[in-house]
Amino acid sequence: MSTFSYSESTPAAMSLITIDNFINNAYVKPQNGIYFDTFEPSRGRPYAKIPDSAATDVELAYKAAASAFPAWSKTSAAERSNIMNKIANLLESRLDEFAEAESRDQGKPVELARTVDIPRAIHNFRFYASKIIHATEEAGELPGVGLSYTQRMPVGVAGLISPWNLPLYLLTWKIAPCIASGNTAVCKPSEFTSMTAFLLCSVFIDAGLPTGVVNMVFGTGMGAGQAIVDHPRIPLISFTGGTVTGAKIIANSAKHFKKLSLELGGKNANIVFADSNLEAALNTSVRSSFANQGEICLCGSRIFVERPVYQQFLDGLVARAKNLKVGDPRSKDTNLGALVSREHWEKVTGYIQLSLEEGGKIECGGQKPSSLQDEFKDGYFLEPTIISGLTPQCRVMREEIFGPVVTIYPFDTEEEVIQLANDSVYGLSCSVWTENIRRARRVAGAIQAGTVWVNTWMARDLRMPFGGMKQSGLGREGGDHSLNFYSEIKTICLAD
């Protein structure tokens, strides 16, 4: 069984970890023999080698998944459920190990991974393990004709492509309903964050998941990811990532008429009315702004505050942001770790510079903390940043930054803020803060977003549909929506 330790700190322990593909329940080197380095964000140095997989590796994984599909698709729901619960139990028994691996690989605080990311991954398997043994089908009588009923059938081999911000959580959000429905899978985790996916493979072995049901091919989007999307016999793609990549997937898969579920970018509004509970709004808004270094597609990066409480809210948010600790992800009192890569750090800081050029004022943050020296001096850290003074037409207020950077803007009327919130190419989520229930219903109903939270944020109910509007995605997953996506629904009519 593979294990992971975050305590490696001596020069002798600095040899790079080698990750291999997982095909047919075995660890397989890439066919081209090429690996590339992946970096530890908090230290800015390589710590693992990732396969630079290509179409030949995807083909091997596809053949393994295709060979496993006939038997797995006929395995009873009860047996599939039993194996998935074993996966959940094994993950839970290794929670600390997975949390440390997730933190080192992605840059997030260990405590966040321990209390949110890994528990949610565990819950994904348990939820769908239960869901499939309680599933029902539709039936209806046609008087004088017969009985019609529906039957779900697994689609086949699914291509599952997951992002780097919530690596294990979002990978298992795809794997769990996929295999619960009787499909097999070829997975490609992000090349920036492959470690917990690699560790998950050992869990599959220990849980007795049959050979070939889940296969992991590591590598880049242009290499392994493109090969999965282009594969003519992979009929279904679930992708979480950027809008530009999502558009390419739609175009490239169109000739094969693939089923697609795309959860893409967000530039989410956080609307605070003057009648809200400001203390609650502030305490949650500092989380929705900066949790996971702002690297969550659901973060409320556009904050709109009703003018009578604008200054009070701004002062409170700045004070709370300044109290957040940026630093060693292993420390329990760290609130923000490191951004995922140097390239991403440069992108985010580039937007901060752009905000000044666009006339904005940096109320706090905007710099790498000077206190981070020694082992963390090369890490990709950034202070939580609040920017005021921009107009809604500025790029910084319209483009997805995906870091610990938020803008704040005053509004005067309900109609105005609805227009401001909806004036975006994105439509993933929104938070609304008000104690007026009628206003809450009006505004929530008018917002163009797949999820609207009222007086809360990031409350995820796996029974409910999840997805985005406009350029934030295509399709819905969660509960029956996931089971429907990972199935073909057939209507059967039996004559009297």
Residue with the two structure tokens 């001596």: 10
- Grouping H, G, I as helix, E, B as strand and the rest as coil, residue 37 is strand
CB 50 within 8 A of CB 36: yes
Contacts of 454-461 with CB under 8 Å at 24 or more apart are: 455/276, 455/277, 455/280, 455/281, 456/284, 456/431, 457/270, 457/284, 457/285, 457/287, 457/288, 457/298, 457/300, 457/431, 458/287, 458/288, 458/291, 458/296, 458/298, 460/120
Residue 284 and residue 453: Cα distance in Å, rounded?
A: 12
Answer for the pair 360, 396: CB distance below 8 angstroms, yes or no: yes
3-state secondary structure of 38: strand
Q: Which amino acid, residue 450?
A: G
CA distance 181 to 128: 9
| Per annotation, catalytic residue among 111, 263, 363, 400 | 263
- Cβ-contact 271, 430 below 8 angstroms: yes
CA distances 441 to 44, 351, 450, 458, Å, are: 46, 34, 15, 19
Residue 146 neighbours by CB under 8 Å, 6+ apart: 493, 494, 495, 496
Spatial CB neighbours of 434, under 8 Å, sequence gap ≥ 6: 273, 275, 276, 440, 443, 454, 455
Is 357 assigned a catalytic role?
Answer: no
Residue 50's alpha-carbon distances to 15, 37, 186, 302, in angstroms, are 14, 6, 17, 36
Alpha-carbon dihedral angle through residues 464, 470, 474, 430, given to the nearest 10 degrees = -30
Catalytic residue annotation: 263
